[in-house]
Amino acid sequence: MRRVWLFGFLTALAIAAGFLFLTERPLTVTVAQPESNVALRIYGLGTVEARILSRVGFEVGGALTALAVDAGDRVAPGQKMASLHAAEQEARVARAHAAVAANEASLARAEAAVVRARAVLAQSEAANRRQQGLAQRDIASIQRAEEAQRDEDVARADLAVAEADVAVTRAQGMDAAAGLQQEETLLAHHRLIAPYDALVVARHAEAGTVVKAGDSVLTLIDPATVWIQAYVDEERAGQLALGQPGTIRLRSQPAAQFHGTIARIGIESDRVNEERRVWLTCADCPAEMFLGEQAEVRILTGTRATALMVPELAIAGFDGHRGTVWTVVDGRLTRAELTLGARDDRGRVEVIGGLPEGAMIVARVPKGAAEGRRARIGEAP
């Protein structure tokens, strides 16, 4: 009986000793240390895009007869890139030319009629003056004078009609010229012309294909407007500003690092992914860029001469501004609520207030951490 009692006592003593060892032995922890020249960067993931991208096609429908360019070609402004079957429209242009020529002939005839009417009027005026003079001297009859006046009035009216015919013919000429211009414009729409100095990214149709008005035939970009479109978490986007520098890494060249600058910040966030878009122009990117290629950016939002940075994983209840961390005070663990500031691309947050005097923040919370537990500061990994 004594042996059983002694065995139970020793077992309880061992359990108590083990419990005290597990709960009271000092935990080895690493603490965050102040750093100098801290660069605050924001990470973003995006793709290579072009600010000026055009999916060009014809303003009229028809059958493609030729495509003069292919993907990868450079085109100059005004260069012909493709054409549609245009025989029908060319016939309409010829008909419009004929209408203009016919109107020119009609105008010449009407102007000649004006010249004739003016000559007749001059003759009638002279005859009328002569008859009126003779009638006043009672040499000619009043009837002859009245007939002469009538002939002058008729000649003047004929001149007015001839001049009106000239005005009508000229108006018809303007209409014919406008019709010719319209037909020539429609004929020009059968040719696809490069709108600017561009690079052909893709072509979407081949010769013989019947395309509708507005169908995309070629995709063009302005190579000078290639930039990086990146998505940044909304929680970090408040630190962004135009002109901030950033580093760029392309997926096809992971060992290379390029430099860019924020050129645009989107005014609308993605409502699903809760991200904001930013665009960076690249100063030293390769001459040949590939649209859609994945790119990583790290934007420098500021620097600190000295700063205490804490890993986000060590912060409990972090709401973007405040959070609770474990600290070591006089060799024991205790909690402290801190005021936090800017973040960096390494998952750390700047401490700007709330840290008790002499307290050191635990950078990696060990298993078994409890209020008042003894702690020993070890070296950071």
The domain that contains 359 carries what CATH number?
Answer: 2.40.420.20
The per-residue pLDDT for range 205-264, each reduced to its tens digit, is 999 999 999 999 999 999 999 999 999 998 888 889 999 999 999 999 989 999 999 999
177 and 28 both lie in a single domain: no
Rounded to 5°, angle at Cα 335 from 333 and 338: 135
- The yes-or-no verdict on residue 29 having pLDDT over 70 is yes
The overall pTM is greater than 0.85 = no
The domain that contains 252 carries what CATH number?
Answer: 2.40.30.170
Structure tokens at 151: 């002939």
Q: Rounded distance, CA 84 to CA 188, Å?
A: 10
Average pLDDT over residues 6-15: 59
User: Residues 19, 160: contact at Cβ < 8 Å?
Assistant: no
> Greater confidence, 77 or 27?
77
Q: Please state the domain count of the chain.
A: 4
Q: Rounded distance, CA 331 to CA 238, Å?
A: 38
183 and 94 both lie in a single domain: yes
The residue among 277, 303, 329 that closes a domain is: 303
What's the confidence (pLDDT) of residue 7?
58
The domain that contains 211 carries what CATH number?
Answer: 2.40.50.100
The per-residue pLDDT for range 67-121, each reduced to its tens digit, is 999 999 999 999 999 999 999 999 999 999 999 999 999 999 989 988 988 888 8
66 and 121 both lie in a single domain: no
The closest alpha carbon to 55, from 185, 204, 208, 187, belongs to 204
Helices (H), 80-193: 87-136, 142-188
Structure tokens at 283: 């100063």
115 and 127 both lie in a single domain: yes
User: Phi and psi (nearest 5°) for 222?
Assistant: -90, 110
Chain-wide mean pLDDT for the chain? 87
109 and 169 both lie in a single domain: yes
Q: What percent of the chain has pLDDT over 70?
A: 91
Domain assignment of residue 256, yes or no: yes
The per-residue pLDDT for range 278-331, each reduced to its tens digit, is 999 998 999 888 999 999 999 999 899 999 999 989 899 888 889 999 998 888
Q: Rounded distance, CA 45 to CA 230, Å?
A: 5
173 and 98 both lie in a single domain: yes
User: Residues 99, 175: contact at Cβ < 8 Å?
Assistant: no
Specify the residue for token string 């635990």.
362
Question: Distance of CA 2 to CAs 6, 11, 12, 13, 205, Å?
Answer: 6, 14, 15, 16, 100
What's the confidence (pLDDT) of residue 13?
56
323 and 352 both lie in a single domain: yes
271 and 227 both lie in a single domain: yes
DSSP 287-351: SS--TT-EEEEEEEEEEEEEE-EEEGGG-BS--SSEEEEEEEETTEEEEEEEEEEEE-TTSEEEE
Rounded to 5°, angle at Cα 114 from 113 and 115: 90
Strands 322-329 and 360-361: antiparallel
Q: Which domain holds residue 204?
A: 53-85+192-220
Q: Rounded distance, CA 354 to CA 351, Å?
A: 8
| Three-class SS of 175-223 | HHHHHHHHHHHHHHCCEEECCCCEEEEEECCCCCCEECCCCCCEEEECH
343 and 368 both lie in a single domain: yes
Domain assignment of residue 18, yes or no: no
Domain assignment of residue 172, yes or no: yes
Average pLDDT over residues 367-377: 84
What's the confidence (pLDDT) of residue 3?
62
Q: Rounded distance, CA 352 to CA 34, Å?
A: 12
User: Residues 307, 353: contact at Cβ < 8 Å?
Assistant: no
Domain assignment of residue 336, yes or no: yes
Domain assignment of residue 5, yes or no: no
263 and 285 both lie in a single domain: yes
**pLDDT band at 198, cuts 50/70/90?**
very high
What's the confidence (pLDDT) of residue 12?
61
